[in-house]
Amino acid sequence: MSERALAERFNEVVLPHLGDALALARWLTGNAADAEDVVQDACIKAHAGISGYAGGNARAWLLTIVRNTSYTWMARNRPRAMMAVGDLGDLDDMAAAHGTSMPDEDGPEASLIAKADSAALEAAIAALQQPFRETLVLRDINGLSYREISAMLAVPIGTVMSRLARARGLLASELGRAS
């Protein structure tokens, strides 16, 4: 493929998804300024690897690169923020053992959640542990399917589902408490 065709492909594959790329990087790094640096790094990698893009969901392809770049960037620039979350397997076992969401009687009314203010919601998302946060963001902010998330994180779909349910359960109870 010629350089020009690769450049056109880069424009088609990467540029339409910059908003999503920034949103993901913002939630993985914690702030919008770092997100631009991370996405720029990721786009350089995407450009280098564009010939390996085999079609399919361009957004998921780019977001995979953004995710990996985010963690590399965080490890280099914000090592303190990269908290050891222990073994991910333990975390998933915990999620499974404790149920994916709170007991029904503790669940806040849907109307309370619906009118929660965005600052409270953002704080609650930021407070989630990383595996739960990234799963929630990939699904509810970036709109990826379970299967796409499963491929990106290299975990079974059942794990994606339980992490997502756990993340939503934690957010719901947090918002119920805040209001």
Question: Of 15-34, which residues contact another protein (CB under 8 A)?
Answer: 15-20, 22-23, 26, 32
Looking at the Cβ atoms of 79 and 104, the one nearer to another protein is: 104
Applying CB under 8 A, the span of 6-14, 74-82, 83-91, 127-135 interacting with another protein comes to: 6-14
Applying CB under 8 A, the span of 14-22, 69-77, 78-86, 127-135 interacting with another protein comes to: 14-22
Residue choice 28, 74, 91, 164 for contact with another protein (CB under 8 A): 164
In whole angstroms, how close is the CB of 70 to another protein at the nearest point? 13
Question: Which two tokens mark 67?
Answer: 């995710």
Residue choice 54, 76, 83, 84 for contact with another protein (CB under 8 A): 54
Beta carbons of 176 and 103 less than 8 angstroms apart: no
Q: For residue 3, what are the CA distances in angstroms to 6, 17, 45, 116, 140?
A: 5, 21, 16, 49, 36
In whole angstroms, how close is the CB of 170 to another protein at the nearest point? 10
- Residue given tokens 């702030």 in the structure block: 31
Question: Of 69-88, which residues contact another protein (CB under 8 A)?
Answer: none
What are the backbone dihedrals phi and psi of residue 155, each rounded to the nearest 5 degrees, phi first? Answer: -130, 160
Distance between CA atoms of residues 70 and 130, nearest Å = 12
Binding-site residue total for another protein (CB under 8 A)?
A: 83
Distance between CA atoms of residues 123 and 133, nearest Å = 12
Which amino acid type is present at position 71?
Y
Question: Of 85-114, which residues contact another protein (CB under 8 A)?
Answer: 96, 99-101, 104, 107-111, 113-114
